[in-house]
A and B are shown apart, each in its own frame.
Chain A
Amino acid sequence: MITVKDLHKSFGSNEVLKGINAEIKEKEVVCVIGPSGSGKSTFLRCLNLLEEVTSGDVIIQGDNLTDPKININKIRSRVGMVFQHFNLFPHKTVLENITIGPIKVKGMKKAEAEKVARPLLEKVGLSDKADAYPESLSGGQKQRVAIARSLAMEPSIMLFDEPTSALDPELVGDVLEVMKDLAKEGMTMVVVTHEMGFAREVGDRVLFMDEGVIMEEDLPEKLFGDPQNPRTQEFLSKVL
């Protein structure tokens, strides 16, 4: 579903991604872990071209994102993204946050878009918040709205960049619960996370990134139970 070949990304003279190769299959949940500054966010952002790729290929469902002729807006609407800081639109209600994509990108009528949005709100447990503004929500509620906003575009892939790291500990559970449900429904997911418990339980595969490359990848039980690379061992000994 996603194929990444020899992906390089530099900011000026600072090479952040130094040749990433990865293959993500349909319905797979891939968790990305690694130390701060190792390029996890940059890698994820290259998957929907929020960062311009310096060299290499990112192929999503047969479309090569580095092809200059590609319609990137179309592809972005198929690839949902959830951010660490939610990035809800503060001037729009919860419902409007969710419907703006379907209305403006897919050309739906307002009523039609709301028919899509309401079940999603229910799914993330926030039916009663449809008319609230984001500032009145807790962090965990905001993140669940952000997930619903992405889902409203009916993406085939969801990218999560540390979706729970800005949350108070007691709010993390609700968000992870929603993500688990998504995984169970067969959503293809790439999740950058510090939640090792989630990676172990929900991940089909875990990638360990360090210094701009994927140092090790394996099934969760293997990677967490018996890491081969000394860098992985060192990292896990610090976080577990």
Chain B
Amino acid sequence: MEFITESHYYRVMPFLLEGLVWTLLITFVGLIIGFVLGAIFGFARLSKNKLIYGIATVYVEAVRGTPILAQILFIYFGLSDLMGVNIDKITASIIAIAINAGAYIAEIVRGAVYSIDKGQEEAGRSIGLTRNQTMRYIIWPQAFRRMIPPLGNQFVISLKDTSLFSVIAVGELLYMGQQYYGMTFQAFQALTMVCVMYLIITVPTAIYLRRVERRLDV
């Protein structure tokens, strides 16, 4: 047993588990807010109102057209400068994931709602449901099912994106691995385990999503 507990593969784990907690926290909270943003801006992108559509389009294109690393630095340093306050690192990370994922989720929402057959809305309206009721009870539940695979995909992307927060010294998974080999100079073992930790989350997610996708296909 000793050769295991003495190895760096083992001794890095307490660091990595602490990092994983932050990685998951930032990802989940960021994505929940990102989903709300995505739903709002996704519907805005379907709006016939030019102003609403325009604002949403600017947001989506601005986020999709810039690197997430720049967005992170912009939120952490840029916004603090502008407002003259220090934003807490975790808060900045969550905001960055939310705003970044929100733009991609907006496109997922728009695409899914748009893909529902026009006849569904007509059938809903023709039995007397209002526009909102038709959206809520008829279109949205069907669209949401179609959104599950791309949303799961976005979860994997955002989870990996949190590693970029190591540049502002957020104690997430990658950063904690770096901390370990900074002290021990065992980069190979530490980074191997960092990757294993990411894969433990991402691979089962990918398998699950492929299964959901196949089920939705029929």
Query: Measured between C-beta atoms, what is the minimum distance from A61 to chain B in Å?
Result: 15
Q: Is B126 an interface residue (CB 8 A)?
A: yes
- Mask for A92-110, Cβ within 8 A of B = 1, else 0? 0000000011001100000
Chain B residues, CB < 8 A from A83: 119, 122-123
| A-B pairs under 8 A by CB, number | 61
Report, as a range, how many residues of chain A touch the other chain.
Answer: 20 to 34
Judge whether B129 is part of the interface by a CB distance below 8 angstroms. yes
Nearest chain A residue, comparing its CB with the CB of B136: A104
> How would residues 60 to 93 of chain A score, 1 for a CB under 8 Å from any chain B CB and 0 otherwise?
0000000000000110110111010101111100
Q: Is the interface of B mostly helix, strand, loop or mixed?
A: helix
Q: Known contacts A91-B142, A91-B145, A104-B137; is A153 also within 8 Å of B128 by CB?
A: yes
Nearest B-chain residue to A45, judged by Cβ: B122
A77 with B128: in contact, given A90-B142, A91-B142, A91-B145 (CB under 8 Å)?
yes
Q: How far is the CA of A76 from the CA of B137 in the complex (A)?
A: 17
Interface residues of B in 75-122 (CB under 8 A from A): 117, 119-120, 122
Interface residue count on the B side (C-beta < 8 Å): 18
Q: In the bound complex, do residue B126 and residue A50 qualify as a contact, i.e. CB atoms below 8 Å apart? A: yes
Residues of A within 8 A of B138 (CB): 89
Q: Is the CB of A100 within 8 A of B120?
A: no
Q: In the complex the two chains form, is B117's CB within 8 Å of A87's CB? A: yes
Cβ contacts under 8 Å, B122 to chain A: 50, 81, 83, 87
Contact present for A73 and B119 (CB under 8 Å): no
Residues of A within 8 A of B117 (CB): 87
A89–B141 Cα distance when bound, in Å, is 10
Residue B8 at the chain A interface, CB threshold 8 Å: no
Indicate if B125 sits at the interface (CB-CB under 8 A): yes
> Would you call B123 and A87 a contact (CB within 8 A)?
yes
- Enumerate chain B residues within 8 angstroms of A144, measured Cβ to Cβ: none
List A contacts of B127 (CB < 8 A). 76-77, 80, 100-101, 105, 149-150, 152-153
Contact A105 B128 (CB under 8 A): yes
Known contacts A83-B119, A89-B123; A76 and B128 CB within 8 A of each other: yes
A155-195 interface (Cβ within 8 A of B): none
CB distance from B174 to the nearest CB of A (A): 41
Residue A143 at the B interface, CB < 8 A?
A: no
Contacts of A100 in B (CB 8 A): 127, 129, 137
Q: Does A42 contact B (CB under 8 A)?
A: no
Cβ of A232 < 8 Å from any Cβ of B? no
Q: Is B47 an interface residue (CB 8 A)?
A: no
Contact check, B123 vs A73: say whether CB atoms are below 8 A apart.
no
Interface bits B119-162 vs A (CB < 8 Å: 1, else 0): 11011111111100100011001100100000000000000000
A48 in contact (CB, < 8 A):
yes
Q: A89-B123, A90-B142, A91-B142 given as contacts; is B130 within 8 A of A73 (CB)?
A: yes
Residue of A nearest to B138 (CB): A89
Q: How far is the CA of A100 from the CA of B125 in the complex (A)?
A: 12
Q: Closest CB-CB distance, B11 to chain A, in whole Å?
A: 51
**Shortest Cβ distance from A45 into chain B, in angstroms?**
8
Closest to A81 in B: B126
Which of these, B124, B126, B141, B145, contacts A48 with CB under 8 Å? B126
Q: Which residues of A contact B119 (CB under 8 A)?
A: 83, 85, 87
Residues of chain B within 8 A of A101, CB atoms compared: 127-129
For residue B125, which residues in chain A have a CB less than 8 angstroms away from its CB? 50, 73, 76
Given contacts A77-B128, A79-B126, 11 further A-B contacts (CB under 8 A): A48-B126, A73-B125, A74-B128, A76-B125, A81-B123, A81-B126, A83-B119, A88-B123, A90-B142, A104-B137, A105-B128
Q: List 22 A-B contacts (CB under 8 A).
A: A50-B126, A73-B130, A76-B126, A77-B127, A81-B122, A81-B126, A83-B122, A83-B123, A87-B117, A87-B119, A89-B120, A89-B138, A91-B142, A101-B127, A101-B128, A101-B129, A104-B133, A104-B137, A105-B129, A149-B123, A150-B127, A153-B127
B contacts, CB < 8 Å to A: 117, 119-120, 122-130, 133, 137-138, 141-142, 145
Report A's interface with B, CB cutoff 8 A: 48, 50, 73-74, 76-77, 79-81, 83, 85, 87-91, 100-101, 104-105, 146, 149-150, 152-153
Q: What 8 A-B pairs are tightest by C-beta distance, nearest first?
A: A77-B128, A87-B123, A101-B127, A87-B119, A81-B126, A105-B128, A76-B128, A73-B128
